[in-house]
Chains A and B, each alone.
Chain A
Amino acid sequence: MSLFSNTATLLGKELRTEFRSRELLTTTAVFILIVLVLFSFAVTPGTEEARQFAPGLLWLAILFASSLMFQSCFLREQTNDTLSSLRLAVSDPFSIFLAKLIANTLFLLLTELIMLPFFALFYNIPLWSKLPVLLLVLLVGSLGISIAGTAISAISAQARMRELLLPLLLLPLLTPVLVVSSLVTGNLLDREPIIQWKGIAFLAVFDLVFLTALWLFGEYLLEE
């Protein structure tokens, strides 16, 4: 029971810190927007080609944005020297990870929600009727990105050149998420939409594997 109450308290702390400044959310949302606009210059927008590439691009933008967003996740604790007090405050260090990864998922989902209308507008893709399933795909995909991202940001925060190291470690690890979620989103946004339940299940398996790994090995990541 203490795992849940600790996690809830820590999650409250994460959310309060972010919503005081909203730095992370605004910068990430603007970043995704820039990528989406820039991409329209790389291919001719409005064409069938752009339509086909759009779902993959959407996930690529989310992936890059997440690797920027997760930088501060453990770094903030380190610069303020609060990690050891955090560890002392909770009985199970997994709750630190759990709180951080839930917060990261929420932030990521929020930025995705902010830019989804722009995405639909720029690439002329009607989303409304497919929204419930699309949200489910965004949820399982972003959860996977956040679980792996939280673990990796705990590693990279303790190394040199950490800003560069985080995407370097994280992005190859997230290949399965990129491959499957782009495919599922692509099929969903097609003119004849197909819901790839197998793909969604695969993303859930990815989440589960990394969550279990984090639960088993998380405490070693935070060793002093």
Chain B
Amino acid sequence: MAKRITLGAVALLLVIASAYASFYIAPEERTMGVIQRIFYFHVASAWAGFTAFLVCFIGNLLYVWKRSEKYDWLGVSSAEVGLAFTTVVLITGPIWAHPVWGIWWTWDARLTSTFILWLLYVSYLLLRTLIEEPDRRALLSSLFGIFAFLDVPLVFGAIRWWRTQHPSPVIMGGQGSGLEPTMKAVFFFSVIAMHVFMTFLIVERYILEKTKAEVDILRREAEAQ
């Protein structure tokens, strides 16, 4: 319990610190002005969301291999948390896009791919609600999760065929891209903060799922008597 509270407190402090840093420490961007500061939150959430989906994929693979229900709990927890972060990305994106591009939504490549990613994991969670038997639910949703994750690079690749309006990658992009050093420091600090926050959420959700399974067993035992 103490560990959970510590992790929560650290996550909270880091998120507050990264919010402070992105507003007061990072320099103002020349052309976009203050709205660019949402970048630290937007991209960091995107990275945290992708990491959560990666954790989900690993959980799915381990479930199919080991058949231990704890990997199923890990799968569903990280899928839900990843979905929450992706939702944040899809909300903060238009908030940034409206003043900069002049429109809320455009069928740009990365925007669209993220939306498809979001839909894939919504389907994953939906599938889980439609299978009653726990073992079957765990196995089939794990397999769908594996297919969905394999599909992600294909979705990204395919949508790249469209012309894109998104700012070309500033992190790990080509020549001439890159961030001013303070901006970079603030950005990576935000990424770390979001990852700690994501870990905290997954741990909490995992414990909830575990408790749920235990209650389920107890209920069944009570009904059997």
Interface residues of A (CB under 8 A from B): 148, 151-152, 155, 158-161, 165, 168-169, 172-173, 175-177, 179-180, 183, 199, 202, 205-206, 209-210, 213, 217, 220-221, 223
A160 contact from B131, B139, B143, Cβ within 8 A: B131
CB <8 Å contact, B130 and A160 = yes
B162 contact from A151, A158, A179, A209, Cβ within 8 A: A179
Shortest CB distance B143–A (Å): 6
B144 contact from A169, A177, A223, Cβ within 8 A: A169
- The answer to whether A220 and B64 touch (CB under 8 A), given A155-B143, A176-B158, A209-B154, is yes
Query: Is B217's beta carbon under 8 Å from chain A?
Result: no
Query: Is B126's beta carbon under 8 Å from chain A?
Result: yes
Per the 8 Å Cβ criterion, residues 86-123 of B in contact with A are: 116, 119-120, 123
State A51–B37 Cα separation when bound (angstroms).
Answer: 43
B-side contacts of A202, CB under 8 Å: 157-158
- The answer to whether A213 and B150 touch (CB under 8 A), given A158-B131, A158-B140, A180-B161, is yes
A-side contacts of B154, CB under 8 Å: 176, 205-206, 209
State A180–B154 Cα separation when bound (angstroms).
Answer: 10
B-side contacts of A220, CB under 8 Å: 64, 139, 143
Given A176-B151, A177-B158, A209-B154; 17 other pairs, CB 8 A cutoff: A151-B147, A159-B140, A160-B131, A169-B123, A169-B127, A172-B116, A173-B148, A175-B158, A176-B154, A176-B157, A176-B158, A183-B161, A199-B161, A202-B157, A213-B147, A213-B150, A217-B143
A-side contacts of B130, CB under 8 Å: 159-161, 165
- Report whether over half of chain A's contact residues are helix, strand or loop; otherwise say mixed: helix
Per the 8 Å Cβ criterion, residues 127-168 of B in contact with A are: 127, 130-132, 136, 139-140, 143-144, 146-148, 150-151, 154-155, 157-159, 161-162
B155 contact from A161, A175, A221, Cβ within 8 A: A175
CB <8 Å contact, A217 and B136 = no
Shortest CB distance B114–A (Å): 12
Shortest CB distance A185–B (Å): 13
Shortest CB distance A28–B (Å): 23
Shortest CB distance A166–B (Å): 11
With both beta carbons as reference points, the residue of chain B lying nearest to A173 in the complex is identified as: B151
With both beta carbons as reference points, the residue of chain B lying nearest to A176 in the complex is identified as: B158
State A223–B63 Cα separation when bound (angstroms).
Answer: 14
With both beta carbons as reference points, the residue of chain B lying nearest to A221 in the complex is identified as: B143
State A173–B120 Cα separation when bound (angstroms).
Answer: 7
Shortest CB distance B103–A (Å): 21
CB <8 Å contact, A159 and B161 = no
B-side contacts of A173, CB under 8 Å: 120, 147-148, 151
With both beta carbons as reference points, the residue of chain A lying nearest to B151 in the complex is identified as: A173
